[in-house]
Amino acid sequence: MYKSESIINNLLIEVDSLSYRITNIHQAYFNTSHVGLRDRLFYENKNISQRLNEIFSIAKVLKNRNNENISFSSLLVEKCKRTIDQKRIEKNLFFL
């Protein structure tokens, strides 16, 4: 395994965990009425969004360095895109 593949694998694992955390944040947000907890969940959701955007930009750079159409970096870019799109769809849930 090359160094870049190891980095991509670690980023894929991180995107998975961030995706699960986003789902848990949304569930917790709607199951609580505590204002302090809601503020913390909202702030954490914002931080996760920033981290996903960072990983997405790293993934695009790694994909551009690779000349293969099907690769781990392409998978990472696609997974980031889908997670960010899912987050955008669910973003409106905070403002219901």
Q: How far apart are CA 40 and CA 45, in angstroms?
A: 9
Helices (H), 2-95: 3-31, 35-65, 72-91
Report the pLDDT value the prediction gives residue 8, as an integer from 0 to 100.
87
Positions in the chain whose pLDDT score sits under 70: 1-3, 89-96
pLDDT tens by residue, 33-46: 999 999 999 999 99
Report the pLDDT value the prediction gives residue 70, as an integer from 0 to 100.
74
Report the pLDDT value the prediction gives residue 34, as an integer from 0 to 100.
94
Report the pLDDT value the prediction gives residue 3, as an integer from 0 to 100.
62
Q: How far apart are CA 12 and CA 47, in angstroms?
A: 18
